[in-house]
């Protein structure tokens, strides 16, 4: 017999407060730290890493923003109560009756990964998405547990998709932690290029807390 799931305790503010901080860190990187390093900031933004072939600051930023954009499309589809010809009350099969998020349907070779001004626009658009989620769920936290289906391609060289059941809250949390890991890669590229980033850039909240506790013990 399947054990009942524990009650969810997440609220939209706790899920997104750190997200907005991370986005502000990216804006600072693009508008202040990269221009302070180079008189050709767009070239630096799109410069490939020597240690991580084909990786650039711009590509990692675009990749992260795409995840928020695609999740937002799935969340918006929940509001229609009509996905692929079926309603969200459970009529039809899982794929037809539930909003589907396809993280594999990302944009590539777009301006947001090639020049800083477009990258800043992408970040600001993501911040507006986060603010819309806060407005949508602040008085209705139960809706964060609405069911959605994640569809992705797990194998390189294959077009086979897998579908995973999830919830809005779980995917909001995933997108933020996914962003942290890509910020860590961006930090690595910045270090390679000689660009200074903020001390906490690319660190998970739990890591920052741990480092703070260690520092306090030593003081």
> Per the domain annotation, does 2 fall within a domain?
no
> Per the domain annotation, does 193 fall within a domain?
yes
Determine the Cα–Cα distance for residues 82 and 183; give it in Å rounded to an integer: 36
pLDDT score of 90: 44
> Per the domain annotation, does 97 fall within a domain?
yes
pLDDT score of 176: 95
Determine the Cα–Cα distance for residues 23 and 104; give it in Å rounded to an integer: 22
Determine the Cα–Cα distance for residues 11 and 48; give it in Å rounded to an integer: 39
Determine the Cα–Cα distance for residues 173 and 200; give it in Å rounded to an integer: 19
Diameter over CA atoms, the chain: 64
Instruction: For residue 34, give the nearest of 178, 197, 205, 219 by alpha carbon.
Output: 197
Segments forming the whole domain that contains residue 88 = 12-214
> Per the domain annotation, does 219 fall within a domain?
no
> Per the domain annotation, does 6 fall within a domain?
no
Q: In the chain, how many domains are there?
A: 1
**Which of the residues in the chain have pLDDT under 70?**
1-9, 81-97, 218-219
> Per the domain annotation, does 77 fall within a domain?
yes
> Per the domain annotation, does 3 fall within a domain?
no
Which stretch of DSSP H or E encloses residue 152? strand 147-152
Determine the Cα–Cα distance for residues 16 and 54; give it in Å rounded to an integer: 30
pLDDT score of 10: 77
């Amino acid at each position: 017999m399947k054990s009942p799931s524990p009650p969810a305790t997440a609220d939209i503010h706790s899920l997104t407060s750190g997200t907005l901080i991370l986005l502000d860190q990216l804006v600072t990187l693009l508008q202040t730290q990269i221009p302070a390093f180079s008189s050709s900031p767009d070239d630096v933004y799109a410069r490939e890493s020597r240690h991580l072939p084909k990786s650039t600051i711009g590509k990692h930023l675009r990749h992260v923003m795409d995840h928020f954009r695609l999740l937002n499309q799935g969340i918006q589809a929940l509001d229609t109560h009509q996905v692929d010809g079926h309603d969200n009350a459970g009529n039809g099969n899982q794929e037809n009756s539930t909003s589907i998020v396809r993280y594999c349907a990302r944009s590539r070779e777009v301006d947001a990964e090639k020049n800083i001004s477009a990258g800043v626009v992408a970040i600001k658009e993501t911040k507006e998405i986060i603010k819309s989620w806060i407005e949508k769920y602040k008085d209705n936290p139960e809706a964060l547990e609405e069911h959605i289906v994640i569809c992705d391609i797990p194998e390189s060289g294959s077009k086979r998709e897998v579908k995973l059941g999830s919830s809005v809250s779980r995917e909001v949390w995933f997108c933020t932690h996914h962003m942290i890991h890509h910020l860590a890669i961006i930090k690595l590229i910045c270090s390679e290029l000689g660009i200074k980033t903020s001390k906490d850039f690319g660190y998970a909240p739990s890591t920052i807390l741990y480092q703070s506790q260690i520092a306090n013990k030593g003081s």
